[in-house]
Structure 1
Amino acid sequence: MSYPCPDKTLELIKKLVDIPSPSGNTYEVISFVETFLSQYNIVTRRNHKGGLIATLKGTDENHHRFLTAHVDTLGAIVKEIKPSGRLKLDLIGGFKYNSIEGEYCQIETIGGKKYTGTILMHQTSVHVYKDADKVERNQENMEVRLDDKVHNAEDVRALGIEVGDFVSFDPRAQITPTGFIKSRHLDDKASVAILLMLIREVKTNNIVLPYTTHFLISNNEEIGYGGNSNITPETVEYLAVDMGAIGDGQATDEFTVSICVKDASGPYHYGLRKRLIQLAVDNNISYKLDIYPYYGSDASAAIRSGHDIIHGLIGPGIDASHAFERTHRDSIENTAKLLYHYVLSDMI
């Protein structure tokens, strides 16, 4: 059997997270994915929302599978240029201001210029603000300090920066000698890399899948509607590949593949869950079953939009989700193995 190499997958993850792609501004990263797949003569198409779809024909063309992972990330947008020349932010995606305090960032103007800055509390200096530790981290108190000589709003606008410009966060990605990768935006670029390596493995080894299988690299998941369209009428099974959330009361860890039983949208399909468990058991794949209480996926978005499909959710375990995240090569490998056996298996 031929599994995608986890070390090569880690390197691909690092390349992906280094490309800024907050929801709403994913053109560059989608182009990267498009180019990656074209190296292996894999035909892709873009949907109107800007996502990318690759299709591998299978033996059975009347019953389809649909797998998705999302390449859009958390980010921000310029809400206001303050009289001081600092920028006020509006957040893209579900996270808290405290998780980006002190983070380096990039501002991309509508004209394509890019500027750097740092996200800080207005009351950061303890030498000036006695209660800096007690001030709430919110939109009113957080701001971007630009790395340019600006003294007022007019100076900022002279750079071409305006309300609506996208702000992305420095991922600070590192692969450690112990097999961890730590970075922002492993949600969900870790899963995107796993799917890309799986597609490459199937194509380069001339593996014929039992069913025609579509792979959607979606680009609006963080705002709720990445994978709820372009689902063929023949699609029976829809599997989202997204991070497994780690925390108190959770079974998920950084070393196994997480199979989601239920999230905020409700239970995932029981039959598909049982099938995924059996594939893991039969192939010695380490897995955990879990419930994500404050979570929704592209698969749940597809169900809400009215598609008559069997839906499931699996993914690598990611620590500190929606903040400075981390996972291990073992989790990447176990997720890749389960996906490999899944796309080669019979439908339930």
Structure 2
Amino acid sequence: MLLVFLWRGFISPRMEKPCHEVVVCVKCNDLNDNCTACMNIDLEDLKAFVATAEMRSFRAASESIHLSQPALTRRIQKLEATLGVSLLERTTRRVSLTAVGRDFLPRARRLLDDLETSLLSVREIAERRSGLVSIACIPTAAYYFLPDVIGEFIEEYPSIRFRIVDAGANDVLQSVINREVDFGITLLGADDPEVAFEPLIEEPFYLACRRDHPLSERDQVTWAELVDHRFITVGRASGNRLIMDLALAGAQVRPRPYYEVQHLSTSLGLVEAGLGVAALPRMSLPADPHPLIATVPLKDPTVTRTVGVVRAPQAKATPAAEQFYRMLLTRWKDI
């Protein structure tokens, strides 16, 4: 005999709590392959059986599930009548399982566990209808990518609020470590034991110059060629500056900073004004063809940065933050 369990829930207009019943399909192999009978079983009857089977005592079981002993007995009798088998052997001193009861007990436990997991998932979905998601993010990702993902997310969860801390790579990492945000988007953290780093994209650095600059028509430019031009770079506290310095540490010729700024967006402003050239990661460059700024691939060496999501592994994310995190990974990798 093969037992297959399904469950369904409903809310009666006269009831405040959901009512759940189990649909048990019994396939009788001894008759024929097409013989299947279905019956409805109340989940409270299953709970009564499991409690009694585990405690081997009607008194202890009735106390654990807050039922009187007569009510507990009636529930088990009803379950046995529905199944058409005896599950428990009762004596004046003890309660024991029949052979069928021993086989049925782990199935009943599994059914109740599956139901609890399903109900928790439904509750989490409901909780994601409201709440707050806190993100620390490097400015380039906050400006060029994050709004698209947030826009898609709030179409499904319009009541979710967002707090976005746009900061440098080091500050983003520290905010995650200090549990000030749910997660961060940054360049750093892959080697930090205090966080988990999920790489999203590896992007190369490009030369940004005005369209009337002599390098703008080139197919590619070497870093050594930038020594003859006014080079704009970010300060040493920037994660992007660290990446460039490490990549060019062994180069015999490297560009000398003529301007030093704190933000990549400031670099673009100086380039647009014709004050110099800059090396910028792809994400920080204008998404559409710019009327004044041209971009050219840089080589010898090819310098890239890895942008990823950092989270504190021991921190428990809210359902809203966890759902947004999963959408972020999917959307970013698609792009």
TM-score normalised over the length of structure 1: 0.21
Higher relative contact order (CA 8 A, sep 6+): 1
Structure that is richer in helix per residue: 2
Calculate the TM-score normalised by the size of structure 2: 0.22
